[in-house]
Structure 1
């Protein structure tokens, strides 16, 4: 698989190294797009930009940690764009502090989480959430990160 990740940084908050981001996305894609070219755009934003996107696309006020926008290009175009991921750097930093997690581990989690949404995974229903959380945990373990859902319940996760 050939992976291209276009990373745009529009936040003054510290963000992970681009090589780490690409490695986390690659780990999330493992076994899903074997042999296929894949392109993802990732934008790292501030609270204001994310709040606008969250309001426009989800009808929810304020910023959220990550949003994913799967590509809806017709397959006959043959373009490798899987979609776009937007991560709010200040929200990720604040959540990591609140949850007593290493910032790098939380960044890896949000990157994997956003990538899985591009692949069609969701957490609206409890069974879907459990499956997605289990997959995230396996992917993060393969990257030497701890389980991201230590005290987080499915209900708390879905409320975000």
Structure 2
């Protein structure tokens, strides 16, 4: 896991049930394992009010969400690439885990992987993009011994 530097900011009232840094590194490493650079990511774990504010300010959506990704993708020195920031909402992730009957760890993994793929330029603005991203998320989750998060549709 030498090619990743993760900075974690714990900015929520209750830090209980948040995965350890080692888990975040393991999940992100599965995506970045073939990258030669040292990749730097900041993960900020927040409450609903903060992610709602960010979601409105940056996406004009006045509601909380599970994750926001802020890609940067710039070299800050030779072989050190600042990929960007992930802002994860602990409360939303916990609620979704219960709603979709997923283990909390698996859902944290999925949302972290989803956000990291956004940092790398993947998106889901249309069916084709969504299909590509969901297939990749399924593949990564299976490689980490989690269940597939998506049932893929045929278009």
TM above 0.5, yes or no, is: yes
Q: Normalized against structure 1, the TM-score is what?
A: 0.87
Where does the alignment leave 5 or more consecutive residues of structure 2 unmatched?
none
The C-alpha deviation readout for 1:70-106, integer Å capped at 9, x for no partner, is 0054x58655101000000000000010001111100
Residue 25 of structure 1 corresponds to 28
**2:139 and 2:88 mapped to 1: Cα distance?**
21
Equivalent position of 1:5 in the other structure: 6
Between the aligned partners of 1:143 and 1:16, the Cα distance in structure 2 is 15
Shift of 1:132: 0.4
**Aligned residue in 1 for 2:130:** 129
Superposition map of 1:16-95 within 5 A: 16-31=19-34, 33=35, 35-71=36-72, 73=74, 78=78, 79-95=80-96
| Greater per-residue helix proportion | 1
RMSD: 1.9
Distance in 2, matches of 1:153 and 1:87, equals: 27
Q: Which residue number corresponds to residue 111 of structure 1?
A: 112
Distance 1:65 1:82 in 2: 19
Residue 158 (structure 1) aligns with? none
Cα offset, 1:17, TM superposition: 1.3
Runs of 4+ in structure 1 off by over 4 angstroms are: 75-79
State TM-score, norm by structure 2.
0.89
Please list every run of 5 or more consecutive structure 1 residues that lacks an aligned counterpart in the other structure: 155-160
Q: Are 1:98 and 2:99 an aligned pair?
A: yes
Cα shift readout 1:34-81 (whole Å, capped 9, x = no counterpart): x111100010100011000000001001110011000054x5865510
SS in structure 2 of the partner of residue 130 of structure 1:
helix
* Cα distance per residue 1:19-39 (max 9 Å; x no partner): 1111101112233x2x11110
Question: 2:41·2:82 contact (CA, 8 Å) conserved in 1?
Answer: yes
Q: Report how many residues are paired.
A: 150
Contact 2:8–2:21, Cα closer than 8 Å, also in 1: yes
Distance across 2 between alignment mates of 1:124 and 1:9: 30
